[in-house]
Chain A
Amino acid sequence: MSTEVKKSGRLLKAPENFLGQGDEKSPETMRRKFLAASVSTAAATFAGLGLQASAQAQAAVGAGDPNILQLPAHSTGLGMPVAANPYGAPSQYEKGLQRRESPGLTRVSAASVAFTPLQGTFGIITPSGLHFERHHQGWWDIDPSKHRLMVMGLVKNPKVYTMDDLMRLPSVSRIHFIECGANTAMEWGNVAVPTVQYSHGMVSCSEFTGVPLSVLLDDCGIDRKQAKYILGEGADGSSMTRTIPLDRALDDVIVAYGMNGEMLRPENGYPLRLVVPGIQGVSWVKWLRRIEVGDQKWATKDEAIHYVDLMPDGLHRQYTGIQEAKSVITTPSGGQTLLDKGFYNISGLAWSGRGKIKRVDVSVDGGRNWRTARLETPVLSKAFTRFNIDWVWNGGPAILQSRAQDDTGYVQPKINQLRAVRGTRSIYHQNAIQSWKVAESGEVSNVQVY
C-alpha cells in the first residue's frame, strides 16, 4: 500500500487537535515514529492488521495520549448551567452538517431545494433541522391560531377546522420517509454531484403526528359512492394542489401537525401538512388549507406541467407518485477519504413506497458478488430502514453498492436498466443502485457502473 494511507492513518485518528506546535508529538514527529514502526511490520498480513496496528499505536504514543494523561478543562472546571441553550442546538463541532443548496440547480432560492446531509445522520430519523427543504414559492411561518382547514366537495357536510379542532381529534404517530420525486434526478445521464447529500439528500424520515385523513373525511360524511380522488391544497403563494387516489387517502394518509415530537417546522409546513406515505414529496402538501373530494383527477400545475416524466418516445408519464424501493450507502460515501485500511462498518439507508424493506445486499466489487446486510430494527412500512455490514478494506480499489428489495419482491435496478426503459430525460423517480468508488488512496467518489 502507498504511504498515503499510512499518512492518513490511525495515529492521527480522532479530531483531537491535541498536538500544539512545537509539541514533542507533533504530527511530523509522530509520522516519523509511525513510519519507523511500520517498517518492522511491513510484511503484516491482512488478518493481523488490527492487532499490529494497535501495537504500533502503542509504540508511537509513548507514555500515552495527552488527552488521557493531561486532564482537560472540562474535567477540571465547572460546566454550563441548565437552560443556557433553552431550545438546544447541536455541538459546535457539528456545524458542517447543514442543509445545503446545489449551486446552479435553480436560479432563485425560493423555488429551490436544500439537501439533507445524509452522510452525517444515524439510524432512521432525520433531525428536524436537517429535513430537506423544497419550496415552490418560498416558505412562511404561519400563525397557527389563524390557520384553517376546509374539507369540502363530495361530502354531506363541508367543514372548517381550526388547529384547536384538529388537535382535539384522535391522533396517530407514524414513522415515514418523504422523498422528492426528483431525488437523484441530476444523475440520470451521468455523475453530476460529489456527495450523498446532493445525490440522495432530497429524502428524509420523521415521526409524524396528526389525524388520519379518513377520520376527517368520515366526519364530513364523504360520499363513498361518487368519491374517487381527493385534492390537497396549500395556503402558501403556490397553493400547491395534488390529486391523491381515494384508496391511498383512506389508507394511511395523515393530516399532520407534529414531527419528531414537536410541531412541524415552518419549512416543512407548519402548522399543518399532508403525510402521504410512499408517495413523492410534492403530494405531501404543506401549509394545508383545503381538502376537496372529487370524482376526477385535477391535472394541476404540479401534475400536468411539472412532475411529469418524459419517456424516450416523447410521451410524458402523468400521475407518477409512488417512490419505488431504493437504497444508498451513506458511510463511506462520496467526497470522503477512508482513514486507513482495516475494518469498517458499511452503513446505509433503504426505503420503499410500497411497503417494508425485506432485504439489502451490499457489494464491494462493483456488483459482481453480494452479501446480505443486517437490517436494524425497527423495519417499518414506507420508512427508512438502516442497514449495516462489516467490511475489511484491504487497501485495494473497491466499488461499493447497495441493492434493496421490498416485501412486494421488487428489486432496486441498476442505472443502465432504468435508462434502457426510461431514457435519461424523465427527471423523476431515479432509484438506481448507487456506486461509490474507493481508490487506493482511500478517496471515495461518485461513479456509475454497468
Chain B
Amino acid sequence: MSRFINCVRYSLAVIALGAGVAASAQPASGKFTGVGRTATPAEIKAWDIDVRPDFKGLPPGSGSVAKGQDVWEAKCASCHGIFGESTEVFTPIAGGTTKKDIETGRVANLSRLDFPQRTTLMKVATVSTLWDYINRAMPWNNPKTLSVEEVYAVTAYILSLGEIVPDNFVLSDKNIAEVQKRMPNRNGMTEKHGLWDIKGKPDVVGTLCMKDCATELKITSVLPESARDAHGNLREQHRPIGPARAIDTSRPGAAAPSGDPAGRPTAVAAAAGAAPAVKTGASNTSGPEISKKSNCTACHAPAAKMVGPSWTDIAKKYKGDAKAPAMLAQKVKAGGAGNWGAVPMPPHPNLKDNELAAVVQWVLDGAK
C-alpha cells in the first residue's frame, strides 16, 4: 500500500518538476510502474555508512587511544605493524609528519624528493576519511566487523602515532572537528587542475609539429638489462604468429638478439604449456593455489620471516608432530597469536576443511 502511495506521490512530483527533465532517455512520469520499491529506513541505515568531511554520517560514539591499541594489536598489526610503520604488505600508516606540520597543515616531507615513502598520515587531509576508511574496509580480510567504538578507538590510535592527539585521548563525535584542525596535511590538497571538470583546462599540452620538429633525439632511459627477464619470458606472452616475434628473454639480451631463427616451434610449445589462470570459486586442494587465493604470501615467505614465520620454519617446528595438521588447520581458520610472537594471525573463515587440510599439509611438506 505504501508502495502505491509513494508511486502516486512520485508521479505528482515528477509532473511538478516538469520540463526540467529533457534528455531522450528520461521517462515520462510514472512510466516505470512496478519497477523498484521504496527503501525502508532500516535498509537505508544499514547501507548509508559514508562519512563526509563535514562529519555528516558520523555515528555518535567514542573510543580511546588505549582501546585502539588493543584492537590494533589484535586485528591490524599483522599487516600494518605494531606502530603502523610496516612496509611488508601495504605502505605505512604513520610516520613522516612533524609537530610543525600540525601547526602549518602542510607536511614538509612531501616536498622532499629524497623522502622514501608517503604514509597515510602524510597524505590524508580529512580525518573523516580515516574514520570512513577503517569503518568500511578494515580489517582488510574482515571488513565492516568493527564496532563504532572500535572504529573511533583505532582512528584515535593512528592519530596518536602521529602525535596529533595525546596517548590518553578519547576521540568522539563531539571533539573530532577539533582534531581536524590538527591534521598535518589539512592544507595539502588542491583542486586547481583541469582533471575534474569535463571542460577543464589541461596543464600540459603537446604540439602538432609535423616536420623537422625540435627534439634532442636523446634516449634518456632504457630498460635495464637486469630487468629483461623480470616479467617472465616474453616469448610466452605473445602470439606465435604475426609481423614480429616476442623476444626469448630466458636468453641473454641485446648482444645476441633474435638468435633463434627457428624459434617458432619453441614459442608454440612454450605458449601451449603456459600456466593456466588460477582457478577460483570451487574448492581446490592445491597448496600453492590456496596460498595465493587466500593471500597467505602477504605475511609468509618460503624461507624468510616476514610478518609471519616462513614456511620452512613452520615445517621444521612441527616435524613429526602427528597432531600438527589438525591443530594448524584450526589455527589458520580461527587465527590467533602466541606461537610465533605477538603479531596475531588473522582468521580465514572462508576456507573449506579440505582446503585447510591441503594447505597445511603443503606447508608441512616444505611448501614445494
Contact = CB atoms under 8 A, between A and B. Distances in A.
B27 A95 contact: no
Contacts of A410: 202, 205
- Residue among B35, B37, B44 with most chain A CB within 10 A: B35
Interface string B241-260: 11111110100001001110
Contacts of B188: 314-316
Nearest to B46: A150
A449 interface: yes
B212 A369 contact: yes
Contact of B137 (A198, A238, A412): A238
Interface stretch (B163-171, B219-227, B354-362): B219-227
A157 B216 CA distance: 62
Contact of A339 (B6, B52, B56, B245): B245
A324 B195 contact: yes
B100 interface: no
A263 interface: no
A150 B270 CA distance: 49
7 contacts: A4-B259, A157-B9, A218-B26, A239-B143, A292-B48, A366-B215, A403-B206
B189 A316 contact: yes
A316 B47 contact: no
Q: Which 8 A-B pairs have the closest CB atoms?
A: A314-B111, A336-B244, A411-B206, A314-B110, A15-B264, A320-B195, A27-B262, A441-B257
Interface residues of A, number: 154
A396 interface: no
A310 interface: yes
Contact of B39 (A158, A218, A294, A368): A158
Interface string B111-142: 10100001010011110110011001100110
B271 A301 contact: no
B340 interface: no
A345 B196 contact: no
Q: How large is the interface on B (under 10, 10 to 19, 20 to 34, 35 or more residues)?
A: 35 or more
Contacts of B113: 425
Given A292-B48, A361-B210, A15 B268 contact: yes
B327 interface: no
A332 B298 CA distance: 37
Contact of B132 (A192, A300, A420): A300
- Residue among A103, A245, A292, A314 with most chain B CB within 10 A: A314
A433 B206 contact: yes
A96 B239 contact: yes
B364 to A, nearest CB: 23
A315 B104 CA distance: 13
A442 B110 contact: no
A334 to B, nearest CB: 8
Contacts of A198: 231
Nearest to B128: A299
B43 interface: yes
Interface string B307-322: 0000000000000000
A136 B136 CA distance: 13
A109 B289 CA distance: 12
Contacts of A292: 48, 50
B261 interface: yes
Interface string A315-334: 11111111010000001101
B227 A12 contact: no
A308 interface: yes
A336 B298 CA distance: 33
A109 B268 CA distance: 28
Interface stretch (A70-78, A80-88, A167-175): A167-175
Contacts of B143: 137, 237-239
Given A103-B230, A337-B258, A367-B215, A294 B196 contact: no
A219 B52 contact: no
Given A96-B274, A161-B36, A337 B247 contact: yes
A138 B280 CA distance: 12
A443 B257 contact: yes
A238 to B, nearest CB: 5
Given A221-B10, A369-B213, A212 B258 contact: no
A385 to B, nearest CB: 17
A374 interface: no
